[in-house]
Amino acid sequence: MLDMVRKDSFRHGVHPPEHKDETSHLAIRRFPFAPELVVPLSQHLGKPAVAVVREGQEVVRGQTIAEPDGFVSVAMHAPASGVVKRIALAPSISGTMVPSVYLQPYPASSQEAADGESCDAETATPDEIILAIQRAGVVGLGGAAFPTHVKLKAPEGKRLDTLIINGVECEPYLTTDHRVMLEQTADIFLGVRYLLRATGTTEAIIAVEANKPDAVRKLEENCPQDLPVSIRVCPVKYPQGAEKLVIKSLLGREIPSGGLPADVNAICINVATTAEIGRLLPRGRGIQERVITIGGPGVQRKGNYRIPIGTTVRFALEETGAAQNISRVFLGGPMMGAAVSNLDISITKGTSGITAFTTAETGEATGHKTVYPCIHCARCVEACPLFLNPSHLGLLAKNEEYVQMAEEYNLMDCFECGACSYVCPSHIPLVQYFRLAKKMVRRLSAPE
C-alpha cells in the first residue's frame, strides 16, 4: 500500500528472492577463448548484418566482420584473432537456425583488439556519434538487443529532454550492471557525454535500485562536476528495470499504450550499453565481448565474466563447472530469461547472463507442480505493473479468443515480465499463453 504514496516507484510488481549477493562481490574476470566461436549475424532486432569476410580469411580481434544492412542494423566484429572456418547456419535461442560466422581463434590470440577511427565526445557532431555507435555494433545490452543508435534519433516532431541511464537491474541472479557500475564508472560518464551530445538532451539521470548502495556511492563520488547528471535510487521491486516503469518512477510520465519513450520526451539506455559506448568510441572499437553473470545453483564457479561474443553456452558452463544435475539453463535471469534447448547456442550481445538450475529448483526431483484452474484470487491483477487483468486474459487465451484479448484487454502492452505467472497459486503458465496469443494476433493482423 505504501507504493501508492511513493512517487519514486510504480504500482504493483513482485519481490522475488534476489540471489544477487552470490555474485555481486565478484569482480569482472576475463574469459578464455573457446576453441571455436560462433558469431550470429543477427544478434539484434532489425536486419541481420552482412558478412564482409570470406571462409578461410584471417581476421584480427576487433576487425569488422559484418557491416550493417540499412539503418536498423549494426556491425559485427571479430571476437578473437583467428581464421574464419565457414559461414553457415547455427542454432539460436529462438530455436531457428541463423547464419553465423564460425571463427577458429589462434591458440595464442591476444586479448588486445584493433583500434578504428576515433570519435571525440567534445567535437563530434550528433550524426557522427550516431554513426560511430552503429559502426561499433552497439545494441541494448540489457537484453532487448535493439540497435542503440536507432533510439538516439528522436522520431519526427518529437523532442527529447531527459536521458535515463538504466542501472536498475531488477532480474534475480544478474549482477553484470552492478559490476559495470563499480568497475567502469569512468566509461559510464564518458558514455553519458556521448549520449547527451547525440540526443540533444540537457539532463541525464542514472537510475540504480536500492540494493546496490556501493554502486550508488561509486557513481556519486566519481561524477564529473561539469556533467548535468544525477543519480537516483529506486526502491527494490521487480520489474523496476523495465523501460516504461523506470521512466514512470523517475519522471512520473507514462508512455502511452503502444508508444515509445520519445512520446514522453525521454530516452532510456542501459548502463552497460552506456559504459560500452564510453569504452569503445574513443578508440573506434566495436563490441567483441560483453560482461555476463554466470550463476544459479547449477554453476560451481559463479561470477561476472567478460566473455567473447560467440562463445557457446556449453563452453561457458564447462569453464565455470556445471553441476551434475543441471536440468534447466536459461539466458538472462529466471524471470524473463529464455530456456535453452541446446547448449551449442552462442552468447550474443543481448545475453546478460547464463543461469543454470538443477533438478532441485525445477522440481524434477520432487515432481512438477499441478496446474489448477484459475480461482480468481486476483494475485496476478495485484502483480501486473501495467494493470492488465492476467486472470481474464488467461481464460480468454484458453478459449483462443486472441482478437478480443488484444482489442479489449490490451494484450499487446504485456512485456512478459512474468510477475503474473510468478504469483499464480494455480501455476497457470500465463506468460506462455500471452506469448502465443501475441504471436497469433501479429499473424492475424499481418497483411496477406
Partner 1 sequence: MSKPKKYLEIGSSPHISSGASVEVIMRNVLIALSPVCVFAVYSFGTAAGLVLATATISCIATEHVLCKVTGQPSSIGDWSAAITGLLYGLTLPPDLPLWMVVVGAVFAIAVGKFLFGGLGSNAFNPALVGRAFIQAAFPQPMTHWALPLGDTRFVDLPGSTLAWPFAQPAYDAVTTATPLAEMKFDSIQAANRELLFGLTSGSAGETCAVLVLLGGAYLVARNMMNWRIPISIFTAVAVITWMFNLYDPVLFPRPTFMLFSGGLMLGAVFMATDMVASPITNVGCWLYGFLIGVVVVVIRFWGALPEGVMYAILLANAVSPLIDRLVRPRVFGTGKGAR
Select from 53-61, 104-112, 147-155, 373-381 the region that touches partner 1 (CB under 8 A).
373-381
Q: How many residues bind partner 1 (CB under 8 A)?
A: 74
User: Residues 237 to 256: which contact partner 1 by CB under 8 A?
Assistant: 244, 248, 253-256
| Binder of partner 1 out of 68, 140, 278, 334 (CB under 8 A) | 334
Nearer to partner 1 by Cβ, of 50 and 381: the residue is 381
Among 236, 429, 440, 441, binds partner 1 (CB under 8 A): 429
Contact present, 357 and 333 (Cβ < 8 Å)? no
Among 307, 326, 406, 437, binds partner 1 (CB under 8 A): 326
Give the integer Cα–Cα distance in Å for 388 and 288.
39
Of the two residues 103 and 326, which places its CB atom closer to partner 1 in the complex? Answer: 326
Does 6 contact partner 1 by CB under 8 A?
A: no
Asked if residues 80 and 105 have their Cβ atoms less than 8 Å apart, the reply is yes
Residues 385-404 that bind partner 1 (CB under 8 A): 385-389, 391-392
Contact 355, 330 (CB under 8 A): yes
- Is there binding between residue 318 and partner 1 (CB under 8 A)? yes
Q: Which stretch binds partner 1 (CB under 8 A): 33-41, 64-72, 135-143, 355-363?
A: 355-363
Task: Write the DSSP string, 160-220.
Answer: --EEEEEE---STT--HHHHHHHH-HHHHHHHHHHHHHHHT-SEEEEEEETT-HHHHHHHH
Report CA-CA distances (Å) from 51 to 55, 69, 84, 145, 153: 10, 10, 11, 19, 26
Instruction: Select from 13, 147, 172, 278 the one that contacts partner 1 (CB under 8 A).
Output: 172
Neighbours of 191 (CB within 10 A): 28
Between 46 and 239, name the residue whose CB sits nearer to partner 1: 239
Residue 336 sits in the site that holds partner 1 (CB under 8 A): yes
Taking contact as CB under 8 A, which single stretch among the options 130-138, 156-164, 201-209, 430-438 is the one that binds partner 1? 430-438
Binding part of the chain for partner 1, among 51-59, 113-121, 148-156, 332-340 by CB under 8 A, reads 332-340
| Phi, psi (rounded to 5 degrees) for 216 | -60, -45
The answer to the question of residue 422 lying near partner 1 (CB under 8 A) is yes
Residue 284 to residues 45, 89, 119, 270, 375, Cα–Cα distance (Å): 23, 29, 6, 20, 57
Single out the residue of 86, 228, 259, 407 in contact with partner 1 (rule: CB under 8 A).
259
The answer to whether 328 contacts partner 1 (rule: CB under 8 A) is: yes
3-state DSSP assignment of residue 266 = strand
